[in-house]
Amino acid sequence: MRGRWCSMKNKIREYILLLAGSFIATLGYLWFIVPNGLAPGGVSGIATIVHFLIGFPIGWGIIILNIPLFLISWRTLGLDFGIKSFIGMLMLSLFIDYLPIEALTDDLLLSSVFGGVLIGVGLGLVFQSGGSTGGVDIIGRLLNHKLPGTSLGTFMLGIDFVVVLGAGIVHGTLTALYSLVTVFISAMAVDYVQNGYRSAQAYCIISDQYAVIADRVAHQLERGVTILKAQGGYTGIDRNMLMCLVIRSDVAALRKIVKEEDPKAFVFVLNANEVMGEGFDPAERSRRRSYRKPHKGQNNVK
């Protein structure tokens, strides 16, 4: 009964974060971004440009653009992430179209900065819930599943650059430059909400349930896990420590896995200033999909 209640509380917390994040991001759009013709990148940026060209509602544009992405990648997303992402996308879209919120300023600099902060904080909370608002995040997951060696950061930055270029064509060079400011500030805000500072982090986990955690990370997150031999300095007891490098969209899911399998696990985090290799280096185009249970003498799980 206690375990079921804890699970229910976690679910409620996740959906509160999802709703709050969608609402905060909406404030960024309605207070600053949309009234000033800025394009924050991604699917929402495309919908914003379409809105200024033909007057089509931004929220419904986001929904229409996301539907094919959900249909293509529903098997890749997983049920929990897919449901939360659909709800997050739907809430953001409806909030943008139907909340009666007026612009706060017509200053492009203030709008690009504060709009980027609010959108980034909102999306960071959505990621913390274990979901997304669709768009580029879904494309990124699908791309990582099909081409695991592809650099997601470069891919997403490329999409944002194309969207910002479109905003420049519609509204002029100045608007495009301020839209770039919004893109970078929102990305920094997302990273800060997710990780405190860095966009990539190495999670070190000491737990008696290390094998189960490693299995779930390998299959659910499709991230490599290294098992290191450790020894308690005071007790002298031999332990196994997991080390896993994750990006911002994986952080909430990894924390959830650890909490579900071993609430008493000892976890510490190392900031990654530079990452190269499988799953993070665009030069690496292949990745092992098989996963073998850890056994004596084996210290690397992929």
DSSP letter string over 135-157?
THHHHHHHHHHH-TTS-HHHHHH
- pLDDT greater at residue 235 or residue 115: 115
Tell me how far apart the alpha carbons of residues 184 and 18 are, in angstroms, rounded to a whole number: 22
3-state secondary structure of 107: coil
Q: Are residues 30 and 161 in the same domain?
A: yes
Q: What is the DSSP letter of 226?
A: E
Q: Is the dihedral of CA 9, 14, 19, 25 positive or negative?
A: positive
* 164 contacts 176 by C-beta, under 8 angstroms: yes
Three-class secondary structure of residue 102 per DSSP: coil
**In terms of domains, do 115 and 237 share one?**
no
Residue 287's CB: how many other CB atoms inside 10 A? 14
Say yes or no: 89 and 162 in one domain. yes
Same domain as 113, residue 28 = yes
Q: Of 49-63, 142-156, 157-171, 240-254, which has the strongest mean pLDDT?
A: 49-63
Cα 125 to its chain centre, rounded Å, is 9
Residue 138 shares a structural domain with residue 251: no
Q: What is the pLDDT of residue 150?
A: 53
| Sign of the dihedral defined by the CA atoms of residues 10, 15, 20, 25, in that order | positive
76 vs 231 pLDDT, higher one: 231
Q: What pLDDT score does 25 carry?
A: 93
In this structure, are 38 and 120 located in the same domain? yes
Q: Which of 195, 226, 242 is the last residue of a domain?
A: 195
- How much is the average pLDDT of 90-106? 91
pLDDT bracket for residue 197 (50, 70, 90): very low
Range of the domain at 275: 200-301
- Which of the listed residues 195, 224, 244 is the one where a domain comes to its end? 195
Whether 167 and 123 share a structural domain: yes
CB neighbourhood size of 77 (10 A): 22
Give the residue, 129 or 196, on which the prediction is more confident.
129
Rg (CA), the chain: 21
CB atoms within 10 A of CB 94: 16
To 5 degrees, how large is the angle CA 72–CA 77–CA 81?
135
> What mean pLDDT, rounded, does the chain reach?
79
In a shared domain, residues 52 and 168: yes
Domain end marker among 195, 229, 246: 195
Same domain, 128 and 210: no
Q: Within this chain, do residues 276 and 289 fall inside the same structural domain, yes or no?
A: yes
Count of domains forming the chain:
2
212: CATH: 3.30.70.120
Asked if the model's pLDDT at residue 262 lies above 60, the reply is yes
Q: pLDDT tens across 14-62, in order?
A: 889 899 999 999 999 999 999 998 888 888 888 988 988 898 999 999 9
Q: Give the residue from 156, 112, 106 showing the smallest Cα distance to 135.
A: 156
What is the pLDDT averaged over residues 192-216?
78
Answer yes or no: are the C-beta atoms of 123 and 107 closer than 8 Å.
no
Report whether pLDDT(111) > 90: yes
Same domain, 10 and 119: yes
Q: What is the mean pLDDT of residues 140-144?
A: 66
**Do residues 65 and 113 both lie within one domain?**
yes
Query: How far lies 251's CA from each of 37, 126, 163, 187, in Å?
Result: 33, 12, 27, 15
